């Protein structure tokens, strides 16, 4: 079974528990809470609209950050391939090209595993420093040296971008708003549904399921390199194979 299917079953189970608890609380209350309007529907509608805005804001912001992280990995890999191919015909470039290939291999084998745990790989960082060291050992060719320097700098910039997105991209107070809003929605739902029927209870369950699913989605893509939805090293693997097969 795929992990996300199991996850949705867990969310489904939580929603059933919460909906059942609300139903039992209503029955235990003996209907006393139905005697008056505790919450004005217009106020509750305003609150849920505002809460939906924050959920949408978080999803759009984090999805954009996720796509940027994925694009940056591809651009970093492309820059490294250009570096490797540009240096191919330079005299004495074998150690430099080997350093580039070793770095890509280390990123695939070590760094993506480390990023899933929220850290960059020290070994990969050392391998990238080796690229710089080998670069300064190359015989100077003004045109190709400038191109190599530009692409190494570009790869370094994308590597730094990966490091900056490891530990979450959503402003912490937004998390407080989202969690407080979840509690408030459950609280308001309990009082606003004064005459619960089977249809209203099913709809109540659907609302809870959607809110919890959205919150988990936000939590998952907050860190692009970990979780069920994450950036994979396919671009680096493709580039590494091209380096190995390069004549």
**Is there a domain that residue 139 lies in?**
yes
DSSP assigned state of 90: S
CA distance 175 to 181: 10
Mean pLDDT (whole number) for 177-203: 79
> What range defines the domain where residue 149 resides?
48-247
Mean pLDDT (whole number) for 214-234: 90
CA distance 19 to 30: 17
Give me the number of domains the chain comprises: 1
- Which one is predicted more confidently, 168 or 51? 51
**Is there a domain that residue 26 lies in?**
no
**Is there a domain that residue 15 lies in?**
no
Q: What is the model's pTM? A: 0.83
Give the model's confidence band at 234: pLDDT under 50 very low, under 70 low, under 90 confident, else very high.
Answer: very high
Half-sphere exposure of 101 (CA within 13 A, CB side): 17
**Is there a domain that residue 7 lies in?**
no
Q: 1-10, 99-108, 132-141 — which is least confidently predicted?
A: 1-10
**Is there a domain that residue 10 lies in?**
no
Mean pLDDT (whole number) for 111-137: 91
| Residue 14 pLDDT exceeds 90 | no
**Is there a domain that residue 127 lies in?**
yes
**Is there a domain that residue 58 lies in?**
yes
**Is there a domain that residue 165 lies in?**
yes
Predicted confidence (pLDDT) per residue in 193-219, tens digit: 666 677 777 888 888 889 999 999 999
Mean pLDDT (whole number) for 18-33: 69
Check: CB of residue 231 under 8 Å from CB of residue 225.
yes
């Amino acid at each position: 079974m795929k992990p996300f299917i199991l996850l949705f079953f867990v969310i489904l189970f939580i929603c059933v528990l919460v909906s059942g608890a609300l139903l039992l609380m209503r029955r235990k209350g003996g209907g006393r809470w139905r005697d008056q309007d505790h919450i004005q529907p217009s106020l509750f509608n305003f609150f849920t609209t505002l809460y939906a805005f924050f959920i949408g804001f978080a999803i759009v912001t984090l999805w954009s950050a996720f796509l940027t992280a994925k694009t940056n990995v591809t651009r970093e890999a492309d820059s490294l391939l250009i570096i490797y191919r540009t240096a191919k015909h330079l005299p004495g470039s074998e150690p430099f090209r080997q350093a580039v290939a070793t770095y890509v291999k280390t990123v695939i084998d070590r760094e993506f595993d480390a990023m899933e745990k929220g850290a960059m790989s020290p070994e990969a960082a050392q391998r990238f420093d080796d690229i710089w060291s080998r670069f300064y050992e190359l015989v100077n060719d003004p045109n190709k040296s400038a191109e190599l320097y530009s692409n190494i700098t570009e790869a370094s910039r994308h590597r730094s971008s990966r490091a900056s997105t490891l530990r979450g991209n959503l402003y912490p107070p937004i998390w407080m708003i989202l969690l407080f809003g979840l509690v408030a929605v459950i609280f308001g739902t309990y009082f606003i549904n004064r005459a619960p029927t089977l249809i209203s209870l099913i709809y109540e369950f659907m609302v809870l399921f959607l809110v919890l699913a959205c919150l988990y989605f936000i939590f998952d893509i907050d860190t692009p390199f970990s979780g069920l939805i994450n950036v994979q090293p396919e671009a680096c693997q493709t580039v590494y194979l091209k380096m190995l097969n390069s004549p």
